[in-house]
Amino acid sequence: MNRSPYHRGINFLPNTLILLAVAGCAVAPKPVPIERTEWQPAPGFQGTRLQTPHYDLRLTARDPVLQAYLPGFLETALDAYRQLVPGPGDQRMEIYLFETRAEWARFTRRFAPTDAHTYLHIQEGAYMDQRTATTVAYDLGRDRTLALLAHEGLHQYFAACLPEPVVPWLNEGLATQFEAFTLRQGRPVFTPRHNLFRRNNLREALDGQGSWIPLSQLLSMHAGQAVVQTGQIARGYYAQVWALVLFLREGPYARDFQHLVRDLGTDRMRLATRAYRAAHAGAATLSEGEVVFRHYITDQIDEADHACREFAHRLVR
């Protein structure tokens, strides 16, 4: 679905191109209601506003094919988020999608001045502003842009609809599960294992000297610490949380992980982690991310790290 003939990244591109070609031959899904109006972000700039049942999109990105796919793509992604973690979500969530990085950066400095320094370290991508539950992105080509919006969309859903925050390793790890997809009748079917972009970065982390982030450190990190880094540290963080969530979903801790996901954003999780800290000497100095992992998954961090690393090696073969 990318406008260039070859896009080094997530592996859904060929399937997407094929499905776009045959989409007209299949029975179309029920169309998403859309209200389209003009939007002027600043004097001299013209944009488009698309309102769907659950999204308010403001675009200077001009690609007509991308504009046509966004409403159905985002509403289908929201259905997938709700299947993962049920929650309210009748309000419209705001997304800004700019034509260029320069527009994105200029808007970011004005929209989120406190966090702009961190956001502007993002070299190719988007961010979700936690304070306002707003996604801000710029066009990187059709396939990559949709992947980014699906990733940030989960963060946005959590921020808008869950009363309690989700710890960073899990928030990012779950979001990476929505980056790879195929299109069926113009709607995404998410394929978490088929994320070649993260798989290639994971291979780098496994092969590089000292590039693997130990689990105890990974559980304590947040995305802001990763994006201000350069090179493999930043790429490795996202690749490892992608692999960690796949490992927890598919491996020996799958039942424990299901319990964890059921408690996301609830008082149950907050009370459980508070009780863990009270019951375990030394827990007061642990990050919330590590406490969540220890309570729901296992206290044997080194053993889990070893098992996850073995899983990661199998994943990149």
Residue-level pLDDT at 22? 37
How far, in Å, CA of 31 to CA of 76, rounded?
A: 11
Which of the four pLDDT bands, split at 50, 70 and 90, describes residue 119? Answer: very high
Residue-level pLDDT at 26? 54
pTM beyond cutoff 0.85: yes
C-alpha separations of 87 from 266, 301, 310 in Å: 10, 31, 34
Q: Comparing 14-28, 144-158, 234-248, which segment has the lowest mean pLDDT?
A: 14-28
| Percentage of the chain lying above the pLDDT 70 cut | 88
How far, in Å, CA of 233 to CA of 251, rounded?
A: 25
Residue-level pLDDT at 251? 94
Whether the predicted pLDDT of 40 surpasses 70:
yes
Residue-level pLDDT at 91? 83
Residue-level pLDDT at 299? 97
Residue-level pLDDT at 229? 62
Which of the four pLDDT bands, split at 50, 70 and 90, describes residue 231? Answer: low
Residue-level pLDDT at 42? 77
- List, in order of start, the domains of the chain with CATH numbers: 31-163 (3.40.30.160), 195-315 (no CATH)
Q: Comparing 73-87, 115-129, 253-267, which segment has the lowest mean pLDDT?
A: 115-129
Q: Average pLDDT of 274-289?
A: 95
Helix (H, G, I), strand (E, B) or coil at 297: coil
Q: Average pLDDT of 70-82?
A: 97
Mean pLDDT of the chain: 89
Whether the predicted pLDDT of 310 surpasses 80:
yes
Q: Average pLDDT of 102-129?
A: 92
38's enclosing H/E stretch is strand 35-39
Q: Average pLDDT of 10-26?
A: 40
The long-range contacts involving 54-57, CB below 8 angstroms and separated by at least 24 positions, are 54/78, 54/89, 54/90, 54/91, 54/92, 54/93, 55/92, 55/93, 55/94, 55/95, 56/92, 56/93, 56/94, 56/95, 57/95, 57/96, 57/97
Q: Average pLDDT of 146-173?
A: 96
Beta carbons within 10 angstroms of residue 69's beta carbon: 22
Four-CA torsion 194, 198, 200, 204, nearest 10 degrees: -150
Q: Average pLDDT of 228-254?
A: 89
Partnered with residue 39 across adjacent β-strands are 47
For 232-242, how does the pLDDT look when each residue is reduced to its tens digit (9 = 90+)?
677 899 999 99
How far, in Å, CA of 288 to CA of 290, rounded?
A: 5
Q: Comparing 7-11, 42-46, 284-288, which segment has the lowest mean pLDDT?
A: 7-11
